[in-house]
Structures are given as C-alpha cells and as structure tokens.
Structure 1
Amino acid sequence: MDIRASTVLPARREDIELHTADGLTLVGELALPETGPPAATLVCLHPLPTHGGMMDSHVLRKASYRLPALAGIAVLRFNTRGTTSDRGTSQGAFDEGEGERWDVAAALEYADFHDLPNPWLLGWSFGTELALRWGRDPLVRGAILLSPPLKRAGDEDVAAWGEFGRPLVALVPELDDYLRPEEAARRFAAAPQAEVIGVEGAKHLWVGEPYVRVVLDEVVKRLNPAAAPLPTTV
C-alpha cells in the first residue's frame, strides 16, 4: 500500500491534557508506537492560531499518523492557549507568544513525567518562535524549525540557542513568504551549530506530499537515524 496524504498507520493514540503553571488546561494527543518503547519524542509546536494554526495543521498531523509506526517515534501534539481543533479548545487566549512560554513548559513537563525519551521540538512558523524563545530547557535534545519567520523570535534568540548548544535545524522553503534560505543562512549564523536546509520549490505551508516527505525524513534523520529514509509503502 502506498503511503498517501490521508494514510493513518497503527499507533497507540491517547487524548491528553497539559496543565500550565499559570493555571490553564491545554488539550492534546500523544501517539506512541504500537509495540515497545519509543526511540525518541517529537513535541510539536503549531503555526499561528490567529491564521488557522493548530495541532492538526497538516504536517504535524501527518507526523502523528506515520512516525510512531515507521520510525518508533512518539508524537506529542497540543493546542496552545486559546486554540481550537477537532480535539477541542485549550483554555486561555492567544498571547502573541508571551504566555505561550508556559504552554511549552507544560508539554515538556508532561514528556518528563511520563518518561518520554529524547524529546525534540518541531516548531512550524509561529511554533519556531516558541521553540527558539522558550525551548531552551535542559530536557530538550534539539529543535527542528519549519518556515522560521524570525520575527517574534529574533537574532538574540538565535544567539541564545547557540549558547544553549543543542542541535538546531532550520528547514527553509525556497519560496517562503517571510524568510528565504540565503537570508536564513546569514541570520542563523549566530548559532554556530545551526544547520539551514533550503528546500527547493517549497512554500511556507509545505503543501504537497513531496514536501511533507522532506520534512518527515529530516525529522527521522535526527531522532532515529536507523529508520531513515522513511518508506513510501507499507
């Protein structure tokens, strides 16, 4: 069977709640390999909720549909404060990336408490800003950024991640609306360990199965290299 955009592979899926230090309950889902412990954990930070971003944004949803089965990776997705998806609405209100620091902390606390191994952050657009600003936690093994705009998170945050020392991978669409590969390479130079990968033909929203495969393969290369590249059939 070919793996298509709508393919959902077997996993142990559980609706979860995250509890923030400022008293909010956030809704989410944890997808685990069907058998055995995960090799690593992907904590997903979605795009801008005021422009339709949520835990079901398509790249994150497809990560949860495929990576537990194909790469043994646990995928934790959740709605940041005030965000709605089919899973429900998280308490609170959108806070321009400020109060969301507690949302990121709550997700990492959940991963820690439930012994989810080797957590990496996967941020997309607005989610990259949350990763850069609030993801510098000793628990975090690294971060993968999709379409980083470097607006709310700026050069000082990139430099701070450089000092943090953990791996940082930026997947930058050739045709991005906000930041393209050449400028991204210049700005991410403030973090010496950062790897900027320009993706030919891709746009900010990563529409199209070939671009989703690029993203998921790059994720697996970092979190469980033995499973890369991902198969296209099952």
Structure 2
Amino acid sequence: MEIRASTILPARRRDITLHTADGLNLVGELALPEDRAPAATLVCLHPLPTAEGMMDSHVLRKAAYRLPALADVAVLRFNTRGTTSRRGTSDGTFGEGEAERFDVAAAIEFVEFEELPAPWLLGWSFGTELALKWGCDPEVVGALLLSPPLHRAGNTDLDTWAASGKPVTALVPEFDDYLRPPEARERFARIPQADVVGVDNAKHLWVGEPYVRIVLNEIVRRVNPQCYPLPTEWDGPHERDTSSLAR
C-alpha cells in the first residue's frame, strides 16, 4: 500500500496535558512507536494560531501519523495557549510569541519527566520563532525549522543558538511568503553550524505529498539517520484519516 496523505500508521497514542509555570493547561498528544522504545523525540511547535495554526497543522499531523512506525521517533504535539484543534482548546490567550515561552518550557519539561530520548524542536513558521526564542534548553538536542519567517526571532536569539553549538536545520521553500533561501542563508550565517536547505518549488505551507515527504525525510535524516530514507509503501495494519483535515 502506498502511504498517502490520509494514512495513519500504528503507534501508541495518548492524550496529554501540559502544565505551564503560569498556571495554564495545554492539550496535546504523544505518539510513540508501537512495540519498541523511541530513538529520538520531536517536540512540535505549530504555525500561527491566529492564522489557523494548531497541533493538527498538516505536516505535524503527518509526522505523528508516520514517524513512530517508520522511524522509531516519538512525536509530541500540543496546542499553545488559546489554540483549538480536534483535541480541544488550551487555556489562556495568544501571547504574541512572548508568553508562549512558558508553553515551550512545559513541553520540554514533559519530555524530561517522561524520559523521552534525544528531544528535537520541530517548529513551523510561528513555531520556528518559539523554537529560536525560547527553545535553546540544555535538554534539547537541536532545532528543525520549517519556513522560518524570522520576524519575532532576532539576531540575539540566533546568537544564543550559535553559542550553544546545537545543530539547527532550516528548510526554506523556494517560493516562501516571508523568507526565501538566499536571504535565509544570509540571516542564518550568524549560526555557523546552521544548515539551510532550500526546497525547489515549495511554498510556505508545504501543501502536497511530495513536499511533505521531503520534509519528513529531512527530519529523519537528522534525528534518526539509520531510518533514512523513509519508505513510501507500507504492508502492515493502518487506518485512514477521514476527517476534513486529511489532505
């Protein structure tokens, strides 16, 4: 069977609640490999909630649907404060990327409490700003950035990651709405260890299965390279996402 946009592969999935230092409850989900321990962990930071970004934004959802089975990767998704998805609505209100520092810290703390291995931050658009501003934590291995706009995150944040020596990978669409590969390479030059990957013909939202596969492969190549490249076929049990989100 070919793996498609709506394919859900086996995993141990459970609803979780993150608790922030400022007293909020954030709804989320943890997806683990079905019958073995994970080799690495993705902490997903979703796009801008005021533009319909949430934990179910399609690339993050497909990572949770596929990577536990295909790459032995645990995938933690959650809604930042005031954000709604099928899982529910997190407490609080949108904090313009500032109050969300507590949300990022709560997710990292959860990973530590659960003893999940090798946590990487996977940010998309607004989520990359949260990763760069608030995610350079001793527990975090590195950052994977999809369509980074570099609006809220500035040079001081980039310098923090540079000083940490932690790996940073930015996947930048050729036709991004905010930051395209040439400018991204200039901006991220402040982080000597940063790897900026331009993706031909892609756009900010990574719509289309070919682009999703590129993203997931680039993620796996960094967090668990022995599982790279990902297969496009699956012969085992599976489900199908029949919701309106599937695309």
What's the TM-score, normalizing by structure 1?
0.99
Q: Is 1:113 matched with 2:123?
A: no
Residues 81-104 of structure 1, C-alpha deviations (whole Å, 9 max, x = no match): 000000000000000000100000
Counterpart position of 1:22? 22
Mapped partners of 2:215, 2:43: distance in 1: 15
Mapped partners of 1:218, 1:149: distance in 2: 19
Mapped partners of 2:64, 2:3: distance in 1: 14
Secondary structure in structure 2 of the residue aligned to 1:115: coil
Using the TM superposition, give the Cα deviation of residue 159 of structure 1 relative to its aligned residue in structure 2, in angstroms.
1.6
* Matching residue's letter, 1:46: H
Using the TM superposition, give the Cα deviation of residue 222 of structure 1 relative to its aligned residue in structure 2, in angstroms.
0.8
Secondary structure in structure 1 of the residue aligned to 2:65: helix
Mapped partners of 1:103, 1:229: distance in 2: 32
Secondary structure in structure 1 of the residue aligned to 2:42: strand
Residues 56-100 of structure 1, C-alpha deviations (whole Å, 9 max, x = no match): 000000000000000000000000000000000000000000010
Secondary structure in structure 1 of the residue aligned to 2:213: helix
Mapped partners of 1:214, 1:104: distance in 2: 26
Mapped partners of 1:160, 1:106: distance in 2: 20
Q: Which runs of 5+ in 2 are unaligned?
A: 235-247
Secondary structure in structure 1 of the residue aligned to 2:128: helix
Q: Is 1:223 matched with 2:231?
A: no
* Matching residue's letter, 1:163: A
Mapped partners of 1:116, 1:30: distance in 2: 11
Mapped partners of 2:146, 2:232: distance in 1: 22
Q: Counterparts of 1:61-72 in structure 2 under 5 Å?
A: 61-72=61-72
Counterpart position of 1:212? 212
Q: Which runs of 4+ in 1 moved over 2 A?
A: none
Secondary structure in structure 2 of the residue aligned to 1:5: coil
Q: Which runs of 5+ in 1 are unaligned?
A: none
Mapped partners of 1:197, 1:169: distance in 2: 7
Mapped partners of 2:183, 2:156: distance in 1: 16
Secondary structure in structure 1 of the residue aligned to 2:138: coil
Q: How many residues align?
A: 234
* Matching residue's letter, 2:142: G
Residues 125-144 of structure 1, C-alpha deviations (whole Å, 9 max, x = no match): 00000000000100000000
Residues 101-125 of structure 1, C-alpha deviations (whole Å, 9 max, x = no match): 0000000000000000000000000
Secondary structure in structure 1 of the residue aligned to 2:170: strand
Counterpart position of 1:89? 89
Mapped partners of 1:184, 1:40: distance in 2: 27
